[in-house]
Amino acid sequence: MLTHLVFWGLAVVAVLTGIAVFVVNSMARASYSLALSFIAVGLQVLLLQQLYVGVLVILMMVMEMTVMAVYMNMFMGMNPAMVSMNMVHGARHALPVSVGVFLLLAAGALFAPWPSRRGSPPADVTAALGTELMGPKMLTMAVVGVVMAATIVSGVVLAAHRTRYDRLGDDLRRPRAADPQPGGVGR
Amino acid sequence: MAETPVAVSGGWAPLAAGLLGTLAVAAALFDGALAGRAAGARSRMGRPVGEVARLLRQRRRTTVAADRLLWRIGGAGLLGMALMIVTVVPLGRWTLFDLAVGVVWVNALDVLAWAFVWLTGWGANSAYAMVGGYRFLAHGLAYELPLMFALVAPAVAASSLRVGEVAAAQQGLWFVVWMPVAFVVYCLGVVAMAVWGPFSPAVGRDVAGGVTAELSGVDRLLFLAGRYALLAAGAAFAVPMFLGGGSGPLLPAWAWVLVKATALLAGLVWLRRRMPALRPDLFMEVGWLVLLPAVLLQDLLVAVIVIGG
């Protein structure tokens, strides 16, 4: 009973802080409302006994929102992120669409004919979930992970303003790279 | 293998908080004594006490258009973080919170330092505080991944994320002996999240105190206490992870935990005046090109030993 109450309480917190993301008027508050929303979801996952997944959701989302606050503040032109600003764009269309999508998904979750429980949950639900999700596809998942990392690295390399020719000269023979920002290991 | 600790009722939480507080106060007094010695005075051990009294009476400084809510959350957050970390640190045979994923729990909490320190810098709406906040994040980008992979090593060696089992797995040989790189990187991470010593440019004098520039009164007291408490909590968590938990001759297990935590804490406090400040921009490369590969090799070595042995 108490677990149910806490679960629903967390659900309300998650939705309200999710709404707050669009209501508040500062980048920092928006980022951390979203972080709070994800923390509430992470705690719900903990209540489902998915300890590892729940703690990881909290870990990743707090880190992500901090990085988001950093980059938003750093890279928004003229730095409007430092002062109060409106958090919504094109609200006339975006608002009905997002409310509609939320209601659709919530209705799907509430009215789907969920199967009733057969048997009892396994001792280690996290391991069971992992096997269920990736068991036969572990090799694919491992390969996808490497491909994603390689994509990120090559994306950064392609997007980088300075190439190795800028750093090491046209024949790549410069002994020390000419970087505008000095490195910490004597390069 | 020694028995794993049993969870005690939440009623003991105040005791755990008290122990953490005692360690933090001891750290502050020790730092005061070291400060006195560095300045040539006989002892300034009482200085932290005077500072507490001063800050308790001080009026709050207000700044224009401060984001008070986030500012206060940031300032008080570090202390809360430290308290949450010690819940999973077993004190000999007892632990408050016997979480199956205790190591990840601590990892999730140490990431909160990013949020809290940056928010403290952001909330004041002051340029210097903001610069301090970004300095901390620059450090964070360099120390966090090595710290995470440093925590992986003991967990792999013990084949468990339960802190008690990690401690029990080192009855024969402490992890610090055969994974020294992970231990050093972990200690560096603790020092960094406490904005301490080499990682103090975020509160540096050259930016008028950085993150703490506009903090005053109780807010400042909470932030400073939070830094000491984080150092203490980090040292306490190192005991089950690297220093063999409660194992040791003569004394009972709980006493050994306290002795080891106190010794490591004293070392970390002492480090403050022995290491130069690490410039965030320069440390970035140190973190990614030296620490991260070093700690990954450490993990590989540990994994090979665990599988082979």
pLDDT in tens, B255-288: 999 999 999 999 999 999 899 999 988 898 899 9
DSSP state of A175: S
Do B114 and A183 count as a contact with CB atoms less than 8 A apart? no
Three-state secondary-structure class, residue B6: strand
> How far apart, in whole angstroms, are the C-alpha atoms of residue B234 and residue B255?
17
**Lookup: tokens for B305:** 């030993």
The pLDDT value recorded for residue A68 is: 81
CB of A37 closer than 8 Å to CB of A17? yes
Query: Residue A118 pLDDT more than 50?
Result: yes
Do B115 and A35 count as a contact with CB atoms less than 8 A apart? yes
pLDDT in tens, A140-149: 888 999 999 9
Do B285 and A63 count as a contact with CB atoms less than 8 A apart? no
Residue of B nearest to A33 (CA): B70
Do B115 and A51 count as a contact with CB atoms less than 8 A apart? no
Q: Is A25 exposed, middle or buried (0-12, 13-18, 19+ CB in 10 A)?
A: exposed
ipTM attached to this prediction = 0.85
Query: Residue A91 pLDDT more than 90?
Result: no
The pLDDT value recorded for residue B1 is: 43
Structural domain boundaries of chain B? 10-308
How far off is chain A from B114, nearest CA to CA, in Å? 7
CA distances to A35, B9, B92, B245, B259 from B252, rounded to whole Å, are 42, 21, 8, 11, 11
CB of B110 closer than 8 Å to CB of B148? no
> Which is nearest to B98 in space by CA: B107, B89, B108?
B89
> Which is nearest to B28 in space by CA: B295, B291, B265?
B265
Residues of chain A that touch chain B, judged by Cβ-Cβ distance less than 8 Å: 26, 28-29, 32, 35, 51-52, 55-56, 58-59, 62-63, 65-66, 69-70, 181-185, 187
Confidence band of B246 (pLDDT split at 50, 70, 90) = confident
DSSP B162-231: -HHHHHHTTSSS-HHHH-HHHHHHHHHHHHHHTT-GGGGGGG-GGGTTGGGTT--HHHHHHHHHHHHHHH
pLDDT in tens, B36-47: 888 887 767 788
Residues of A in contact with B144 (CB under 8 A): 63
Report the pLDDT averaged over residues A95-112.
Answer: 92
Query: Residue B249 pLDDT more than 70?
Result: yes
How many CA atoms does the CB half-sphere of A76 hold within 13 Å?
A: 14
